[in-house]
Amino acid sequence: MKASSYLIPTTKDDPQDAVVASHKLMMRAGLVRKSAAGLYSYLPLGLRILKKIENIVREEMDASGALEFQLPILTPSEIWKESGRWDKMGKEMFRIKDRHDNENCLGPTHEESFCVLVKPMVRSYKDLPINVYQIHTKFRDEIRPRFGVIRSREFTMKDAYSFHLDDASLDETYQKMRQTYRRIFARLGLATIPVQADSGNMGGSASEEFMVVSPIGEETLTLCDSCGFSGNIEKTPVVKKTSLASKQEEESIVETPGQKSISDVAQFLSVKEEETLKAVALSYDGKYVLVFLQGDRELNENKLKNFLGANELRPMGQSELTRFGLIAGFIGPGFAESSDLLILVDSILEPNFPYVAGANEIDKHKKGVQLSKYYDFSKIQTLDLSQSKEGDPCPNCGHALKAEKGIEVGHIFKLGQKYSKAFEISVLNDKGKATLTTMGCYGIGVNRCMATVIEQCNDDKGIFWPVSIAPFEVCLVSIAKTQEDIARVGEVYSSLKQAGIDVLWDDRDLGPGFKFKDSELIGFPVRLTLGKGFLEKNEITILNRKTMEEKTISGSDPKTLIEEINSLLRSLRKELDDRTKEIG
């Protein structure tokens, strides 16, 4: 491909709304252009990268035995209502009515669609297991699209769904997908960590996210250097480090004018934040809950939603607080309880410790509050509702956890029979008895992988792509003016193409500095320079973009040049191959 007949709209300046490296560089390198908030058009170079990622995903999925389909993006509301997720998906689902007033949505995921499709095709245990997948466009009405294609409203996803006769078969495919995912990400040049995760709206008994450690990650990972435990903070169980030092203190009311936050109250009364009670009053699906936490802890909304089976949580409004006699900033045990208000206590709270808590009066708190005097702990529900944090004991070995930010690039789920029950997907077992199938689900964010690679592979000059997904493996930069010189460079270009080398010839009528900067910004793994040295002495300079190491060779023999290029490309591929071989 010649650059003079290609479109390479690079820019020098970062876009004003871009704050992360991948967003800035995708725009500057001419890979994408913004259409609207959370919507991006892929330009030729960007699309080549995206298709190479898709091909790696497809090759590994096909090698695992999965079968590729393509389903409609527009899905009818009936199937979502049948599964119970039409309301549960919330405002992130794009909903559309057609001219006949039928409700539809732009699929954010396709469990329901695949269930309806596969159900009449599987009748016997001999038809199972089956793993079906697609690489297709998905939609999510993000309230705050950001970070370019990392969190967008339209995106490309590989989603797969497996159907099984029993849990043993599901686990076998789940482990195969786990291995397949690790191979995919290794081939993309991504270093991923599988972490235990919350299943959210997907449901099911278990799930793992494949995370890439990154300071821009929106997820927080909890990692143990001792035993290798890894989890998403939303899922990680909180283990109490040590009991609070016992002390005797009579309950008393103290004036705390204007002190509403935990930090303010703790400082005002000269106590540690962990010695205070935090009360969180929430509404969920028309019902109400009050959660007591240790003052230095944050509520883990995912744990609470899973326990309640709630679609959405929101803080109580003033009228709702008034209804239950609650005063924001001063809530504590001892208010007039109502059967309409569920009270939950976090499991790390100590029933007999004298905490500082709200006094249920404006500008007043209580000291010496023991929960056991207000609640019967044999009846009240105590459960793990707080968010894990750095330094907490590992739930496996007790070693202190460390926290890292991470970007999620893939997620696998054991769905169990949630959707099989909803759609009554059953087969005849070997005894001729109808048996409900069990399911798995496996997703990869293709666009997100592209951006995440850039987050890992960039420097002050631009991107350095892993050779497996680079838009072109080699960029030939020529500095020639006369037709005779251009023809000489053209001969080299032709020999490279004939040798099967994936090469872009930058033959544009631009200065050498501009071409060099463009090649470094876009991130072609190998650059050949055919300039004055080539025209006068047949010398060609070969640059390794990742290391910026240069080598000058004689270009008089095309075979020598081709072997040098292939040798460098082999070494770049070997780095990825070695990672993949380690996985198996």
- Are 374 and 492 part of one and the same domain? no
Contact of 462 with 521, CB cutoff 8 Å: yes
- Are 194 and 300 part of one and the same domain? no
Contact of 223 with 229, CB cutoff 8 Å: yes
**Is 266 a member of any domain?**
yes
- Are 271 and 310 part of one and the same domain? yes
What CATH number did the domain enclosing 312 receive? 3.90.960.10
**Is 51 a member of any domain?**
yes
Buried b (16+ CB within 10 A) or exposed e, 273-284: bbbbbbbbbbbb
Q: Kind of pairing, strands 462-463 and 438-445?
A: unpaired
Per-residue pLDDT of the chain (584 residues; tens, 9 = 90+): 999 999 999 999 999 889 999 999 999 999 999 999 999 999 999 999 999 999 999 999 999 999 999 999 999 999 999 999 998 888 899 999 999 999 999 999 999 999 999 999 999 999 999 999 999 999 999 998 999 999 999 999 999 999 999 999 999 999 999 999 999 999 999 999 999 876 555 455 678 999 999 999 988 999 999 998 998 888 899 988 778 877 888 999 999 998 989 999 999 999 999 999 999 999 999 999 999 999 999 999 989 998 998 888 999 999 999 999 999 999 999 998 888 999 999 999 999 999 999 999 999 999 999 999 999 888 888 899 999 999 999 999 999 999 999 999 999 999 999 999 999 999 999 999 999 999 999 999 999 999 999 999 999 999 999 999 999 999 999 998 899 999 999 999 999 999 999 999 999 999 999 999 999 999 999 999 999 999 989 999 999 999 999 999 987 788 899 999 999 999 999 999 998 888 87
**Is 391 a member of any domain?**
no
- Are 60 and 183 part of one and the same domain? yes
Please report the pLDDT score of residue 584 as a whole number.
Answer: 73
Please report the pLDDT score of residue 320 as a whole number.
Answer: 95
Please report the pLDDT score of residue 539 as a whole number.
Answer: 92
Q: Kind of pairing, strands 103-106 and 94-97?
A: antiparallel
Please report the pLDDT score of residue 235 as a whole number.
Answer: 85
Look at residues 470, 513, 508 and name the one whose alpha carbon lies nearest to residue 489.
Answer: 508
Please report the pLDDT score of residue 309 as a whole number.
Answer: 87
- Are 292 and 374 part of one and the same domain? yes
pLDDT in tens, 40-57: 999 999 999 999 999 999
**Is 473 a member of any domain?**
yes
**Is 369 a member of any domain?**
yes
Q: Kind of pairing, strands 503-506 and 526-530?
A: unpaired
- Are 429 and 492 part of one and the same domain? no
Contact of 106 with 2, CB cutoff 8 Å: no
The tokens of 230 are what? 């890894």
**Is 78 a member of any domain?**
no
Please report the pLDDT score of residue 570 as a whole number.
Answer: 96
What CATH number did the domain enclosing 476 receive? 3.40.50.800
What CATH number did the domain enclosing 154 receive? 3.30.930.10
Helices (H) and strands (E) in the chain, counts: 14, 31
Please report the pLDDT score of residue 199 as a whole number.
Answer: 55
Residue at which a domain ends, from 356, 383, 410: 383
d(CA 461, CA 29): 11
Q: Kind of pairing, strands 526-530 and 474-478?
A: parallel
Contact of 440 with 174, CB cutoff 8 Å: yes
Give start and end residues of each alpha helix (H) in 21-110: 21-28, 44-63, 77-83
DSSP 226-286: TT--EEETTTPPP---SPPPP-----EEEE-TT--SHHHHHHHHT--GGGBEEEEEEEETT
Please say whether the dihedral angle defined by the alpha carbons of residues 190, 194, 200 and 204, taken in this order, is positive or negative.
positive
- State which residues form the domain around 505: 465-583
Look at residues 25, 160, 15 and name the one whose alpha carbon lies nearest to residue 465.
Answer: 25
**Global pTM value:** 0.87
Please report the pLDDT score of residue 311 as a whole number.
Answer: 80
Q: How many domains are contained in the chain? A: 3
- Are 175 and 312 part of one and the same domain? no
The tokens of 414 are what? 């054991």
Q: Kind of pairing, strands 341-346 and 287-294?
A: parallel
Residue at which a domain ends, from 430, 455, 480: 455
**Is 220 a member of any domain?**
yes
- Are 353 and 478 part of one and the same domain? no
- Are 128 and 257 part of one and the same domain? no
Instruction: Kindly report the length of the chain.
Output: 584
- Are 291 and 351 part of one and the same domain? yes
Please report the pLDDT score of residue 198 as a whole number.
Answer: 66
d(CA 43, CA 30): 7
- Are 288 and 215 part of one and the same domain? no
Please report the pLDDT score of residue 346 as a whole number.
Answer: 95
- Are 432 and 563 part of one and the same domain? no
**Is 245 a member of any domain?**
no
Please report the pLDDT score of residue 201 as a whole number.
Answer: 52
